[in-house]
Structure 1
């Protein structure tokens, strides 16, 4: 009996071991399946993130296109310099309305559908510009392009700046590609290509999920949790992040409309701490455009023409160099922004841009005196250096700061104010650049009349580089 009992115990133990091994294998299999599922979700999330980043790329494509197309529009439609300034400047001026409404629009219909509205309006505006036969039709199309809701607000990091620079570069390349066509149709092709990016944005919307913040504001917490799990496989971290968003966004507040009004009231009548945040965030947005670099992007063919480059194809080829420089140094900024810090990189960028602008002024003064030598290459290198240091510092930092400096409660509205200030300053600079350049004889073909680059942007750079209210950020959850 004892041996039988021992055999029974042994067989029972063997069966228990087999069951345990089976359970362990099932658990391991479940973990493997779960890991593969999370890996697949993250792959999809990465693709969706890249598609989101394509929106600033496509939206900035028209900026690069306009710089080359404006030359041929002036020749074909007999557009005066003031009218050219209005066409270029109103693209930024009118877009401030889109920036102001994008915050409310994003909170109401989510960023994904805000992008859809923007893409549709851009398509209509681009089509109007492509088939325009007069200045008024061109202006109408430009206004439609500008007034569409800002489709890159909300992704406030340095990565959208990379894709925005790529969009400008693609615009420069398309200008060069169509420059060999007849002057009566080449600018139409340059502008017409801009319809394709907005179509691609429309297709991308089918795979881009809603933002967790918007879902929580709509009391769709389970869907928000699902979206967060696609980017982070740790459920505890997801729940912690979900609780942070709920607390910061006030998801449990039944008086949501009153909360929105309260945010605007607080922004318009800020406390001392919020006042400093607004001065820093909006001030930096203004300084970014008052440096005049966006005017350089728009009018680079005119600047290179003044530096001695002849032939429209050569001028457009030179703008491609500007686009490559801008894109390359944005990538440099992405690498350095966390290593060096925001404030040191901002100082380096501002001071270096000041030096490059002074160098451009000296080189054009040498051309004025008839000292050709290396003055023309120096002017071109100075312009590229200005763009390079702008892209390596001020350009991405102002958007990063806007995303970091404001608590989540104020972020959407404050970002809209900052973007509106940015667009307003950009429009003012773009609408006055040609007139001031002619007044200072910067863009006059005769070298004897050139007087160098106006000093006003240098003053703003010097003020911006001494902007001591800007804080030093450390890696932490500021909200």
Structure 2
């Protein structure tokens, strides 16, 4: 009924896909960042230790890890559509528990369920968008997921800056339930992924889905066997294992670059740099969120023009420069230089290691193992994300802010070298052409041309 309501009004499929990816990304960004501005309030209410603070932050990320790890088999068996519906149900339940104000136990359980939701969304929504979008739009559309994440982060920072003093913290955290309604409406109005349907051997459903999505012309040239091609040991076929290592490494570099520590604990970092607690630190945090959004918009404009590889190389170099400035500012007591350095870091991240690992993982894995491959890469991402969430405050206490930022700087330099050596360019290449190159065993740098 919902799908008929939308399609009777001639809404273009790309609008529905963009609605899905934007609302899913916003859910992701708001969910992971909303705790930053209310962490001091939660700490005071429940008399939490430093470890307790990290656990409140990290329990959501641990849920994200479990959700991403389970997303592969669930989406392979149930399909992308029903998996996204499951994510919306889990998130809705989790945020309802948070809004109910059931104490620390209710907060932790609610954040765990919200984490499961975000973990599923982080893997399945970009994959669905990549499988249902024409090749010439794919990079920009999948990058919209990262833009929506940054908008969710900005929304979370803005909400706490504006309302933390007057609105209960449960409402500020529980507001993450709102974009889930759009996720549910959008996916109900869309068909199942034709590539998943093809892998299930349902040509009639494939034809209906490709017609609805406007992919009929692109689908005509696809070999029928490609969608369902498998093999006894799919991760040993061609360059598939190398693709898995590439995508997983990009996510490890993404999370160990320092972005998660900055997103989760930004007000605390600004206090360490010399900004006063409260409004000043929250305002500086909001400023970072705004830079993140603007730079991600620029990334979307460039990803299908300049390509994936140049942006990753340039971004890693600029991230290193930004973190070096933060270290200098921390040592010399220059808070505004520290803010500028973090702004450079965030902008460069938004152009490179933010959106592009999602784009590349949705493009490089062959259809037969796309669910498993993306789930493994996403789970790796969340595992290292959790590592930062559970240890950042302790790391700063042990070696100081400059020491912690110095470790992140080393990671950014490693990212620069890794991207120079191994990252391929897939701009404008159809998924089936990329898959053929991977299964043929081409070196990573030659996949996609």
Q: TM-score, normalised by structure 2?
A: 0.84
Per-residue deviation, residues 219-245 of structure 1 (Å, max 9, x unmatched): 432232222223437x554433xx44x
Q: What is the match of residue 90 of structure 1?
A: 59
Contact kept? 1:276, 1:469, Cα under 8 Å: no
Q: What is the match of residue 410 of structure 1?
A: 369
Q: What is the match of residue 324 of structure 1?
A: 290
Q: What is the match of residue 113 of structure 2?
A: 144
Provide closer, same or farther for how the CA distance between residues 406 and 46 of structure 1 changes in structure 2, counting only shifts above 3 A.
Answer: closer
Q: Note the C-alpha offset of 1:414.
A: 0.7
Alignment equivalent of 1:179, drawn from 140, 150, 164: 164
**CA distance in 2: counterparts of 1:170 and 1:225, whole angstroms:** 39
Q: Note the C-alpha offset of 1:81.
A: 1.4
Q: Note the C-alpha offset of 1:405.
A: 2.2
Q: Are 1:351 and 2:320 matched, yes or no?
A: no
Contact kept? 1:52, 1:208, Cα under 8 Å: no
**CA distance in 1: counterparts of 2:375 and 2:14, whole angstroms:** 26
Q: What is the match of residue 379 of structure 2?
A: 420
Q: Are 1:305 and 2:271 matched, yes or no?
A: yes
Q: What is the match of residue 107 of structure 1?
A: 76
Per-residue deviation, residues 141-182 of structure 1 (Å, max 9, x unmatched): 22222223512421352121111111111111222232121x
Contact kept? 2:62, 2:112, Cα under 8 Å: no
**CA distance in 1: counterparts of 2:25 and 2:397, whole angstroms:** 32
**CA distance in 1: counterparts of 2:410 and 2:35, whole angstroms:** 28
Q: How does 1:45-60 map to 2 (within 5 A)?
A: 45-53=13-21, 54-60=23-29
Provide closer, same or farther for how the CA distance between residues 436 and 357 of structure 1 changes in structure 2, counting only shifts above 3 A.
Answer: same
Q: CA RMSD in A?
A: 2.3
**CA distance in 2: counterparts of 1:85 and 1:79, whole angstroms:** 9
Contact kept? 1:402, 1:415, Cα under 8 Å: yes
Structure number with greater Rg is 1
Q: Are 1:195 and 2:177 matched, yes or no?
A: yes
Per-residue deviation, residues 266-298 of structure 1 (Å, max 9, x unmatched): 33xx35722322221111111111101121011
Q: How does 1:357-396 map to 2 (within 5 A)?
A: 357-367=323-333, 375-396=334-355
Per-residue deviation, residues 410-450 of structure 1 (Å, max 9, x unmatched): 222111110000000111012111101111233xxxxxxxx
Q: Are 1:239 and 2:220 matched, yes or no?
A: yes
Provide closer, same or farther for how the CA distance between residues 474 and 217 of structure 1 changes in structure 2, counting only shifts above 3 A.
Answer: closer
Q: Note the C-alpha offset of 1:96.
A: 1.8
Q: TM-score, normalised by structure 1?
A: 0.79
Q: Are 1:457 and 2:408 matched, yes or no?
A: yes
Contact kept? 2:191, 2:212, Cα under 8 Å: no
Provide closer, same or farther for how the CA distance between residues 361 and 218 of structure 1 changes in structure 2, counting only shifts above 3 A.
Answer: same
**CA distance in 1: counterparts of 2:412 and 2:51, whole angstroms:** 26
**CA distance in 2: counterparts of 1:236 and 1:399, whole angstroms:** 26
Q: What is the match of residue 308 of structure 2?
A: 342
Q: What is the match of residue 228 of structure 2?
A: 250
> Gapped runs of 5+ residues in structure 1?
1-38, 252-258, 368-374, 443-450
Q: Secondary structure at the match of 1:94?
A: helix
Alignment equivalent of 1:438, drawn from 364, 385, 397: 397
Q: Note the C-alpha offset of 1:474.
A: 5.2
Q: What is the match of residue 97 of structure 2?
A: 128
Q: What is the match of residue 226 of structure 1?
A: 208
Q: Note the C-alpha offset of 1:41.
A: 8.6
Per-residue deviation, residues 449-469 of structure 1 (Å, max 9, x unmatched): xx5654211111111111112
**CA distance in 1: counterparts of 2:19 and 2:78, whole angstroms:** 19
Q: What is the match of residue 372 of structure 1?
A: none
Q: Secondary structure at the match of 1:60?
A: helix
Q: Secondary structure at the match of 1:292?
A: helix
Q: Note the C-alpha offset of 1:46.
A: 2.6
Q: Which moved more, 1:140-149 or 1:283-292?
A: 140-149
Contact kept? 1:291, 1:461, Cα under 8 Å: yes
Provide closer, same or farther for how the CA distance between residues 48 and 384 of structure 1 changes in structure 2, counting only shifts above 3 A.
Answer: same
**CA distance in 2: counterparts of 1:212 and 1:79, whole angstroms:** 49
Q: What is the match of residue 138 of structure 2?
A: none
Q: Secondary structure at the match of 2:12?
A: helix
Provide closer, same or farther for how the CA distance between residues 229 and 127 of structure 1 changes in structure 2, counting only shifts above 3 A.
Answer: same
> Gapped runs of 5+ residues in structure 2?
1-6, 131-141, 436-449
Q: How many residues align?
A: 407
Q: Note the C-alpha offset of 1:44.
A: 2.8
**CA distance in 1: counterparts of 2:304 and 2:177, whole angstroms:** 36
Q: Note the C-alpha offset of 1:134.
A: 4.1
